[in-house]
Amino acid sequence: MSTTPETADFTEWQQVVDLLRQAALEQKDDVMLKLLLTPDEREALLARVNILHELMNGQRSQRKISELLGVGVATITRGSNELKHQSDDTKQWLASLLKKQQQ
């Protein structure tokens, strides 16, 4: 008879965030993300970052962003809707973070 519980050990989003933070502290965030995400999921994440960047930039329409990144307009709209729910402080932080990574 097994003494192992029949439930998953990791059940909360915050646990995943904490794992990623710890991996980053140990400079193993790249390894952790490669273990967690398939190549297709990593490409999708890259597209999401580019979507946020383009939306924050505000120079292209959603249709143009869709064409540029090869993703559906609905994906752009979901990103746009998520940004609308963020505070101005969060938007400023994101814009600053994205700008730093460009340099």
**Amino acid letter, 12:** E
pLDDT at 27 over 80: yes
Helix (H, G, I), strand (E, B) or coil at 76: helix
Angle, alpha carbons 5-31-82 (nearest 5°): 80
- pLDDT tens digits, residue range 33-80? 999 999 999 999 999 999 999 999 999 999 999 999 999 999 999 999
Give CA–CA dist 19/81, Å, rounded.
28
pLDDT value of position 1: 52
| Domains in the chain: ranges and CATH | 13-102 (1.10.1270.10)
pLDDT at 2 over 70: no
Give CA–CA dist 1/6, Å, rounded.
12
pLDDT at 101 over 90: no
